[in-house]
Amino acid sequence: MALLLGGAWMCTAGCEPYRIEYRERPSYYDDAVDGDLPDREVLDDGTVVVYRKRDESDLARKGEAKDFLIREEFEGGRVVLRGFLPEHVLANTLTCLQNEEYELMWEQLVAEQTRAAYRNQGKGQEEFAAFFAKRRRDIAATVNRMLLGIPRNEVVSDNLGGGMIQLRFVPQVAGQFKFRTITMGSSANGLKLVMIR
C-alpha cells in the first residue's frame, strides 16, 4: 500500500497540468497553402491546439451534411455571396478583387453602415469602386495573407463589441503590408465588410 501511494506522489510532483484545445480546420485551408499544415501546435501560454478535419463523407451518409456555398453563381450571371465566418468574408473579398467585381462587393459584401458613411460624405458606389481598383493589389495581398495566417496564429481577432470584430496581423507580420486590419460586423445576413485599414 505504501508503494502505491509513493508512486502516485511522484507522478503528482513531476506532472504539470496543461490545456488541450481541439479545433476543426476547414478543408480549404489545406488547398490554400503549399505543403502540409501542422496537426498540432503549442501556443505561448502552453496550450496545445490539435486540429481535426471533419469527415464530410460520414456526415453525408448520415444526411447531416448540407452544401454551404459562400459564393453561388446562377444561370444568367446572378451571384450570391454568403459569409458567417471571418474566413468567408475574406475569401469572398479576395475573389471579388480578383474578378474586379466592385459592384457585387458594394451590394452584398459591404456593411450597411459603411455604405451609409460613404453616402454621408456625398460618395457612393463609384468612389468605393475607385478606392478598391486603385489599391487592389495591396488589399488583395492583405486579404490573402490573413486567410493563410489565421490557422497559423498570425492573425489576431479582437471583439470590438456590438457584433463587430477586427482582424489584425501580429506585429511580426504587420510590417510587410500596407493594409493591416480588416473590420467586420454582423448583420441579419451574416458577417459584412466594414473597413480595411
Residue with more model confidence, 100 or 48: 100
**Residue 39 DSSP symbol:** S
Residue type, 96: C
Of 167, 190, 164, nearest in space to 108 by CA: 190
What is the tens place of the pLDDT at every residue in 74-107? Answer: 999 999 999 999 999 999 999 999 999 999 999 9
DSSP 146-196: HHHHTTTT-EEEEEEETTEEEEEE-HHHHTT-S--EEEEEEETTEEEEEEE
Q: How many other CB atoms are there within 10 angstroms of residue 106's CB atom?
A: 20
Locate the domains of the chain by residue range: 18-55, 83-197
pLDDT in tens, 99-133: 999 999 999 999 999 999 999 999 999 999 999 99
In this predicted structure, the answer to whether residue 13 has a pLDDT above a threshold of 70 is no
pLDDT: which is higher, 72 or 16: 72
Q: What is the model's pTM?
A: 0.68
**CATH code at 83-197:** 3.10.450
pLDDT at 50 over 90: no
pLDDT of amino acid 133: 97
Q: What is the pLDDT of residues 26-46, one digit of tens each?
A: 666 665 556 677 777 777 777
Whether the per-residue pLDDT at 5 is higher than 80: the answer is no
